[in-house]
Amino acid sequence: MRDLILFPRKTRFWWRPSMTTSFLNGERAVAVCFIGILLYSLPLSLLFHGVALSLLTLASFSLEISFDSSNVPSLFHTRPGASSGILLGAVTLPSLLLSKLVQLSRGFSLAQLQIQEIQYLTLQYWATSASACGVVLFLAFARRRSPVPLSRWGSSLSLCFIFLQVLISVAALATTSQIGMHPALKLAWVFCHGLASVKLIQHFLRTFPSCASIGEAFLVTSGIVLYFCDMLLLTTKKLHGLLVSSESVSAEHEISRSEISIIIQGLVLGLLVYPIALKYFLQIWEWSINTCAGARRYYEIGRTVIFLASLGFVLIVIVPSWMQFVKEFRVHPFFWVISFVFSEPSKRLSMCIYWMCIICVSVLRFYNISKNSKIERILLRKYYHLMAVLMFLPALIFQPKFLDLAFGAALAIFLMLEIIRVWRIWPLGQPINQFMNAFTDHRDSDLLIVSHFSLLLGCALPIWMSTGYNDRPLAPFAGILSLGIGDTMASMVGHKYGVLRWSKTGKKTVEGTAAGITSVLAACSLLLPLLASTGYILTQVTLSL
């Protein structure tokens, strides 16, 4: 029996769990339930993949308990008040790729796609698993330094599971074929993913302290490594094809990529790498003005000129050249985008006008409210989730390809604005910082603001991952429905009517969770007839074929 403890001030209850149920809180229960359903749906051809994911889940689960159950200070400067989130950070990307593999295996059994797509995604799955294993190993060895016995026990158990997972991965990579790569090359490629993820998460936690939990940093670094190495593999294959001059190599193992996906990938990766170059450019500029008398008065102007010149060179010359090398564009990618937009000018330009009107009205309205209202920031920002539904839902139904490109453009703009804000580039750095701080809460820091990135990527990633073969018509709408409707209703209902808390320290309530699930189910029941009436489902089936 569970006891109900009454909070006298806020008149709220929380469940007092036993030791066993404290290990399986609401977040972990959802993750374990999802992994169980995924493993149950696996075909026999993906048995090794399922065993590897199970061992990774057990390793990250025991390590998260080790981090969260001890009272010693955290080994890393993470976001205050947040749980470690190691389990979700470790299994999210591998489970998503494994789900996509299950979907592709259904399409391959129906002869609707080629084996090369499954082989390539399989390589991506093992690379992502290696990234997760590498970070879990790094965290487990770091945790073994703790004097708490439970922490040492949890890290030791995690190391055992990771050792078994590595053996399974090596056996699977040695016995299966992925896009014609030699087994030694596959192992080296996968190992590089793990090493890069460890180095990147160390850099992230050191450079941006108190900006994210371990799980959030885990997920971001694994995603960046996977995204960058994917583009690097495409570049390497292209170089190999030019050096070998063999058409059979490129024809046999070529993975089809659309121009839009290459443009988004190159643009995002270029802007992620650009701050490294900007740092050295500005250091050279600061050294030059220190050696030149009277040049100090032009410091801010010089920084701005260097920023604009270097950013323009990267976006106009370097990144487009990379895109054209990987994918043969007949024109400059910038002109390709213009021609794509004006191929259907009435629909796509009207969509842009519609988006601009919603953005201007919403931002001005909520910016004034945020300065003058006492409403909690977490609730105020949920209005932007509803705004995302109004913006993206019509575009996804009627202009899905244009929405893909728009998401990439919005992500690039967000990255540029964040670079300007962090580096305080004159004259926009300080005004952008003041504007963004009006919408931040305890989950953001002055150093790095990521809430708008979370909302954008949460809506965009399900759409991007649903490109190609897709036999689930509601899959692209997963982010819009869960964030725009489910998360909003959960916060509203939980804040106003929530009584039963999922945990003693957390703020999430049973009522809010129930409201979020019910609202998403209701939205799906209304959306399916709408998609059928507009011909969206028939269009997606035709594109998949």
pLDDT of 436 over the 50 cut: yes
- 94's CB contacts (< 8 A; 6+ apart) are 53, 56, 125, 128, 129, 132
- How far is the C-alpha of 509 from the C-alpha of 496, rounded, in Å? 11
Confidence at residue 177, expressed as pLDDT on a 0 to 100 scale:
65
Are 300 and 443 in the same domain? no
513 and 434 housed in the same domain: yes
Task: Verify that 38 and 122 share a domain, yes or no.
Answer: yes
**pTM score:** 0.86
Tokens 């259904």, residue? 106
pLDDT surpassing 60 at residue 253: no
Q: Rounded to whole angstroms, how far apart are CA atoms 143 and 60?
A: 13
pLDDT tens column, 122-159: 989 999 999 999 999 998 888 776 655 555 676 788 88
Task: Find the range with the poorest average confidence among 44-58, 162-176, 283-297, 466-480.
Answer: 283-297
In a domain, 14, yes or no: no
Rg (CA), the chain: 24
Separation between Cα atoms, residue 135 and residue 202, nearest integer Å: 9
Domain check: are 80 and 226 in the same one? Answer: yes
pLDDT band for position 208 (50/70/90)? confident
How far is 397 from 161, CA to CA, in rounded Å? 44
Same domain, 439 and 507: yes
Give yes or no for a contact between 306 and 285, defined as CB atoms under 8 angstroms apart. yes
- Note down the domain range covering 120: 26-240
Q: Are residues 383 and 526 in the same domain?
A: yes
H helical segments located in 327-424: 333-341, 345-372, 377-380, 382-398, 400-423
Q: Report yes or no: 35 and 54 within 8 Å, Cβ to Cβ.
A: yes
pLDDT at 14 over 60: no
Residues 228 and 325 in one domain: no
pLDDT at 283: 83
Highest mean pLDDT, choosing among 68-77, 134-143, 264-273, 294-303: 264-273
Are 109 and 199 within one domain?
yes
Angle at 199 between CA 194 and CA 203, to 5 degrees: 145
On whether residue 126 sits in a domain, the answer given is yes
- Out of 277, 304, 339, a domain closes at 339
- 272-296 pLDDT per residue, tens: 999 988 888 888 877 877 766 556 6
State the pLDDT confidence band at 6, using cuts at 50, 70 and 90: very low
**3-class SS string, 70-87:** CCCCCCCCCCCCCCCCHH
Q: For 85-111, what is the mean pLDDT?
A: 90
What is the domain count for the chain?
Answer: 3
Asked whether residue 10 is domain-assigned, the answer is no
Residue 489 lies in a domain: yes
Q: Decide if 249 is inside a domain.
A: no
Q: How confident is the model over 26-41, as pLDDT tens digits?
A: 678 888 888 999 999 8
In the prediction, which pLDDT does 250 show? 41
Amino acid identity of residue 27, one-letter, is: E
CA distance 451 to 449: 6
- Residue 378: partners with Cβ closer than 8 Å, 6 or more residues away: 441, 491, 495
Residue 1's pLDDT is what?
Answer: 38
> Are residues 81 and 202 part of one domain?
yes
Does 466 score more than 60 pLDDT?
yes
Q: Give the mean pLDDT of the chain.
A: 81
Question: Percentage of the chain surpassing pLDDT 90?
Answer: 30
Residue 4 lies in a domain: no
Domain assignment of residue 7, yes or no: no
Alpha-carbon distance 113 to 545, whole Å?
A: 8
Q: Is 239 left (phi over 0), alpha (psi -120 to 50) or beta?
A: alpha
Q: How many CA atoms lie within 13 A of 87 on its CB side?
A: 25
Q: Are residues 509 and 400 in the same domain?
A: yes
Q: Which of 286, 320, 339 is the last residue of a domain?
A: 339
Highest mean pLDDT among 66-70, 86-90, 150-154, 241-245: 86-90
Q: Is residue 363 part of a domain?
A: yes
CA torsion through residues 201, 203, 204, 210, sign: positive
With the C-alpha atoms ordered 230, 234, 240, 241, is the resulting torsion angle positive or negative? positive
> Residue 512: is its pLDDT beyond 50?
yes
List pLDDT tens digits, range 332-381: 999 999 999 999 889 999 999 999 998 888 877 776 666 666 666 666 77
Q: In this structure, are strands 3-7 and 12-16 parallel, antiparallel, or unpaired?
A: antiparallel
Give Cα separations from 510 to 30, 490, 492 (angstroms).
13, 9, 13
Average pLDDT over residues 397-419: 92
Domain boundary among 315, 339, 363: 339
For residue 265, give both structure tokens.
Answer: 């990938």
88 plus 229 within the same structural domain: yes
Average pLDDT over every residue of 246-259: 55
pLDDT tens, 173-199?
877 766 666 778 888 889 999 999 999
Per 3-state DSSP, what percentage of the chain is helix, strand, and coil (rounded to 5)? 75, 0, 20
Q: Do residue 100 and residue 217 come from a single domain?
A: yes
